[in-house]
Amino acid sequence: MDDFDQEAVLAKVHLVESDILMVSGSLVDGSGTPSSDFDFSVIAQSKDERFHRDTFPRESHMRYYTSGDRVKASFDYLPHSLLGVDVEYWTVQEISDLLAAHSQLYGHMKTRARKSSSFAASAVDFRLLSRLTYGVPLTNAAGFEKITAEIRPGEIAYTAFRTAVGSYPDFRDLAGMWAQGDHESALIAARKLGVDTFRGLTHAYGNTNRNPKYLARFLTRLPDSLSGLTGRFRQLNAYGPGSTADAADTILEWLDLIDLAFAAIRRVRDEADAFVGREEFLGLLRSELHRTMSWNAEISNEYCFRAREATDDVPSLRSMLSAMVRREAVEHTLPLHAWASGRAAPAGENNKSA
């Protein structure tokens, strides 16, 4: 990292004595590089004129960002340095509201057995939530401890997990591309599904950061017993197939890695703090089924795909792919009709409930 003048950094922050100044980001979580910025959050006791659009010292900043009449963030490069200073401005009440919104979201996610839609996660600033779990207070440590006392890192990890894992439509698209012989598109789809699943694996081990940019670094922090699996993922994700002729085999290799990642998730999720356990997750799947559904191969395949994050008793993704190309249901032993017996059609989901 370049040398820097501490006073030059603080000049970009506009502190008063009662503020909480938190430093976070990649320089704190261990994933930083020589080009990483300083990531600060100023948490004021209440809104004041320092961060009002009309009174903010805009001439002192390279750029700044507003929401309504409030300045929410600023960015600058330090003089005679390549270092950047990225500052976000919050109030104690805004942090409290954010934590309350996440608590509601977590409660909602515990009732769902599929990958979260964007509408459910949009009300929560996951980046700030993650930073609050590991950020370091540089001022007003007592105030920081007070506002973060209600943070539940395990719950944040679980909501992040549900934004990563369980998208049958993604696998279904991959299968359709494969059936058409479009290996280029299928390879891109397989890689995305792999990145999502391995990101989910890091969340099962407590990672709260959803940014895939540093996924390879987060994977190196998992137990040594997973190093072979995560090493194969990192190699394939970063460098891909050797040539276009290898595309089909690489897609199948991705499916094998995803199956192994799901097996690792199953082994840890019952002990993961705040995660929905395996039996409880299967119960959520059962609650979606009802006797009057239009039963067909797709329903069977969808539940076979989604159940693999909680049960070993499912066929491989390779087997699923072969069956779907034949437009058939893959053979499995999940008692879907028994699960649906006696159940009426559920009420529709409220997309705004989170």
Burial (CB < 10 A; 0-12, 13-18, 19+), residue 85, is buried
Which band of pLDDT confidence, cut at 50, 70 and 90, is reported for residue 354? Answer: very low
Is the model's pLDDT at 17 over the cut of 50?
A: yes
Task: Tell me the mean pLDDT in the region 114-121.
Answer: 67
Reported confidence tier of residue 149, pLDDT bands at 50, 70, 90? very high
Is 306 within the bounds of a domain?
yes
In a domain, 352, yes or no: no
Establish if 205 belongs to a structural domain.
Answer: yes
Specify the higher pLDDT residue, 2 or 131. 131
Question: How many CB atoms sit inside 10 A of residue 87's CB?
Answer: 23
The domain of 68 spans: 1-151
Q: Could you tell me if 203 and 315 lie in one domain?
A: yes
Percent of the chain with pLDDT over 90: 75
| Residue 30's pLDDT band (cuts 50, 70, 90) | confident
Q: Hey, CA dihedral for 39, 43, 47, 50, is it positive or negative?
A: negative
**Do residues 203 and 64 share a domain?**
no
What pLDDT score does 117 carry?
A: 65
Instruction: Report the CATH number at residue 60.
Output: 3.30.460
Q: Is the pTM of this model over 0.85?
A: yes
Q: Encoding tokens for residue 259?
A: 């199956």
> For the chain, how many structural domains are there in total?
2
Mean pLDDT across 164-184 = 96
* Residue 169 φ/ψ region, left for φ over 0, alpha for ψ in the -120 to 50 degree band, beta for the rest: alpha
Judge whether 52 lies within some domain: yes
Mean pLDDT of 77-86: 81
| 321 vs 299: CA distance, rounded Å | 15
Q: Are residues 224 and 140 in the same domain?
A: no
The pLDDT of residue 198 is above 80: yes
Written as six digits, the tokens of 111 are 């009732």
Both 146 and 3 in a single domain?
Answer: yes
pLDDT band at 120 (very low <50, low <70, confident <90, very high): low
Q: How many CB atoms lie within 10 A of CB 150?
A: 12
Looking at the domain assignment, is residue 65 inside a domain?
Answer: yes
Q: What is the pLDDT of residue 346?
A: 72
Residue 352, pLDDT > 50, answer no
User: Where does a domain end: 90, 116, 151?
Assistant: 151
Separation of alpha carbons 296 and 287, rounded Å? 18
Query: Where does a domain end: 101, 127, 151?
Result: 151
**Residues 113, 147 share a domain:** yes
pLDDT at 239 over 90: yes
Q: Both 92 and 194 in a single domain?
A: no
Nearest to 19 by CA among 65, 87, 70: 87
353: pLDDT strictly greater than 70: no
For residues 106 and 91, give the distance between their C-alpha atoms in angstroms, rounded to a whole number.
Answer: 23
pLDDT range class, residue 118, cuts 50, 70, 90: low
Q: Which amino acid appears at position 219 of this protein? A: L
- CA–CA separation, 204 vs 86, rounded Å? 30
What pLDDT, on a 0 to 100 scale, did the predictor assign at position 80? 73
